[in-house]
Amino acid sequence: MRRLPLSLLATSLMLAIGTASAATPTTIPAAAVKTAEQLRDTAMSDNTGYQIVESLTTEVGPRLAGSPADARGREWAIAKFKALGFDKVYTEEVSYPLWERRSEHAEIIAPFPQPLDLIALGYSAGTPKGGLTAQVVRFESLDALEKADPASVKGKIVYVDARMERYKDGHDYGMGSAIRTRGPVIAAKMGAAAFLLRSAGTDAHSRTPHTGVTGFEDPKDAIPAAALSNPDADQLSRVVAYGKPVSIKLDLDCGIVGTYKGANVIGEVTGRKHPDQVVVIGGHLDSWDPGTGAIDDGAGVAIAMAAGKLIHDLPQRPDRTVRVIAFANEEMGLWGGRAYADKHAAEVAKFQLGTESDFGARKIWRMSASVKPEARGAIEQIAKVVEPIGVAYDAKMPGGGGSDLSQMHAKGMAALSLTQDGTDYFDYHHTANDTLDKIDPKELAQNVAVYAAFSYMAAQAEGDFGSAPGAFANDGAED
């Protein structure tokens, strides 16, 4: 055999190594881009998404996790996936603590007796029979509570009075939800009798308190915890400002009563070439109980189902599977999302791209992504398709996958964030006013158009978006 000179051999090896290590860019074929544009335009004038959320909120209504309506919602989702023609419909079991709300009542006893409108928070303990009466101690922030002398809190009702402001991206909810989740836990460790907060909401004039979950993980550590409506929080703050001792009687009948077995409900449009590779979208099926769960998150379920339906109805199935998930019990701790990620973590490399819709039904205005560098060009192709319907691509911001699918993203799934206009979202979030009338059918259709277009393009991409175990561990994405 003729041998190459050593210098030429070294050069040849370096070239071979360089060729092998040069990653091939992910691209989306022109035909797929054209079909995605057609999907987008069809979706913009299609009312399937609105019909789905109308059906869910009318036929099932509020869907508190573990309630009888939770089971009805699950059966509704199975039937709806089948009626829409999905190729495969199935469930995956999810277990979680069963918390029940039965009643709540509060009133100022002194110095100025009057009732207060409030709502118990998820995983709150109940008060003793007949309620509890204690003096109120007010804090202007979570930080002030954390720095307080425990002796000033022990045996009292802690009240954290911090007001959320409205923003298009809803970022002030980071503050509000932290007070709601961490505040009761901190107060309990200090020996407080109970915890109240100004609702994590932006409605200033509605006497409708916002519920939500606390951070209690063990019922033995829980204390009674509730949220005041903004007008009632204003009133309590004015009373406290008089400088006289303020006492409240709090009567909450609620608590954990056992364990419940629910399920994620899944529908698939089976891929033609690579059925084991999936583009995953979804929303969470459960809701809080005061309203009918229209914007949180009936809309998300409807957007994903309708997008999947439009892709299903194309003349030919996509190359990869489009998987739509209606997640169980997001509201009280991402139970469905965590169970799904635990079950499918070993398969994360087969997840092409994913995101969940869980921020209402206003127009999507921003897209961001966490993908490998070689897939940025494909993301830019997607961005060009959705730009004409009002979506701007933020190339510097990571994508987190939405609430439940943030758990798969944490395992290494490439993810998008598709951000709706949340300017008024926290007026209605977790309240009795989360009802169907808050959804504009045309705005919902724009959401469906974005989800259908991106899902199809990802399914048709030549190459992947970088999903791999631990691939995006340090991208800083939050949902």
Unique residue bearing structure tokens 């036929």: 59
Look over the chain and give the mean of its residue pLDDT values, rounded to a whole number.
94
Please give the share of the chain, as a percent, with pLDDT higher than 90. 93
The per-residue pLDDT for 236 is 98
What is the C-alpha separation between 321 and 336, in angstroms, rounded? Answer: 21
Residues 6 or more apart in contact with residue 326 via CB below 8 angstroms: 77, 264, 265, 266, 282, 283, 284, 285, 301, 304, 305
What is the C-alpha separation between 6 and 448, in angstroms, rounded? Answer: 60
**Tokens describing residue 210:** 């916002």
Q: For 196-233, write each residue's pLDDT tens digit.
A: 999 999 999 999 999 999 999 999 999 999 999 999 99
Residue 276, pLDDT above cutoff 60: yes
Please give the share of the chain, as a percent, with pLDDT higher than 70. 95
Lowest mean pLDDT among 19-28, 97-106, 132-141: 19-28
The per-residue pLDDT for 195 is 98
Residue 1, pLDDT above cutoff 60: no
Q: For 24-39, write each residue's pLDDT tens digit.
A: 999 999 999 999 999 9
The per-residue pLDDT for 474 is 72
The per-residue pLDDT for 479 is 44
pTM for the model: 0.93
What is the C-alpha separation between 191 and 189, in angstroms, rounded? Answer: 5
Q: For 144-200, write each residue's pLDDT tens digit.
A: 999 999 999 999 999 999 999 999 999 999 999 999 999 999 999 999 999 999 999
| Residue 122 per-residue DSSP state | B
Helix, strand or coil for residue 155? coil
The per-residue pLDDT for 396 is 95
**Tokens describing residue 347:** 């398969």
Q: For 5-26, write each residue's pLDDT tens digit.
A: 444 444 444 444 444 345 899 9
Residue 298, pLDDT above cutoff 70: yes
**Residue 128, phi then psi, degrees to nearest 5:** -60, 155
Residue among 61, 48, 240, 75 nearest 160 (CA)? 240
- Confidence grade of residue 476 (pLDDT, cut at 50, 70, 90): low
